[in-house]
Structure 1
């Protein structure tokens, strides 16, 4: 599957990041691609491919369900046609961000995230204290016909002290600056699917 990214509404995301540090774009991914990615995520869950997410880094990583209860599996190029199409789409955004905001984004890492009913992720930042390479956070939602009463919102803690709750509606993309936007995932009454990822800058020890 090949996607033409030349007409994608990247300008909206770029303007939002420059002015407020975050952006929400409904319908970023097509209905077809979103459905294919959701189907693949569910298939991976059924096959036992996803593992409980951990907190911390390196040898200090541990499963702490009191902090986060999602299950994840990392994406790699060549795994499937839908994930390849998604990675191509996201790379178009990376190039646009570099061209307009001069962020020096070098790579992208992403994983499927499956939240069973009742699971959550407590308030946190995506950037590690000792590693500033994660620069822009990106979340694509895969939940068709999501209703407000299901819960599962992404709560953003904005710089002005306000909060913004984002419904995890299929095809919607949320983008925000990793170092500046604390956020949490609220519990839902049903399973919740997404692709979570980060654009990274080249580190000082990367050649």
Structure 2
């Protein structure tokens, strides 16, 4: 991972509550991950994502339309390498910001044309472990007119849009940054994940 880009990512996250950098990971790995996501989708391994957690989780296409599959160690060389790089980022975030991040969870996400995810926060009401959200995009030659941006709503009342261009990594504070995924005119692929601290679950 590029050390200068890593430094800027962490500085921006601390100052603004969000950060983004382009081409922070090797281009070849980005392409391998895109191919991996499409292969899993072709095999029918991605499932419609729900809203909520545990027994309260529900499928609500009017809120969220992506299909996902969680990454686990040993599934593929590309996904293992991505998890290793995210663990390097976890350690760097802890060194610089003292966040106490203990692990990282993530999934492939595929949005078909026209699907979206309405404005929401990433931290559950009954589980405060998710601390920093991380979205890595896998879509080559993405054009602004194709839509599909990640729209962030910082506390100062502004809006910021991140285009889902291959090689772009976006970070933001899970509990404090409302955001949404806008509909696109083409298929949209990403790896969406969360750096988690030790926390409290309420059952």
Report SS of the residue matched to 1:69. Answer: coil
Gaps of 5+ in 1: none
Deviating above 2 A after TM superposition, structure 1's stretches of 4 or more consecutive aligned residues are 5-9
- Is 1:108–2:104 an aligned residue pair? yes
For normalisation by structure 2, the TM-score amounts to 0.96
Q: 1:41 aligns with which of 37, 41, 48?
A: 37
- Once residues 13 and 7 of structure 1 are traced to their aligned partners in structure 2, the CA distance between those partners, rounded to angstroms, is 10
Are 1:90 and 2:86 matched, yes or no?
yes
Other-structure match for 1:78:
74
Structure 1 pair 6–42 and aligned structure 2 pair: CA distance change class (3 A) = closer
Superposed CA deviations along residues 94-136 of structure 1, whole A, max 9, x for unmatched, are 0000011000000000000000000000000000112110000
- SS state of the match for residue 200, structure 1? strand
Distance 1:73 1:109 in 2: 11
* 3-state SS of 1:9 partner: helix
Residue pair 2:71, 2:79 contacting (<8 A) in 1 also: yes
Query: Which of 174, 179, 186 is residue 190 of structure 1 equivalent to?
Result: 186
| Structure 2 residue aligned with 1:61 | 57
Size of the aligned set, in residue pairs, is 201
Q: Is 2:164 the partner of 1:168?
A: yes
**2:131 partner SS:** strand
1:137 alignment partner in structure 2: 133
Structure 2, unaligned stretches of length 5 or more?
none
Corresponding residue for 2:154? 158
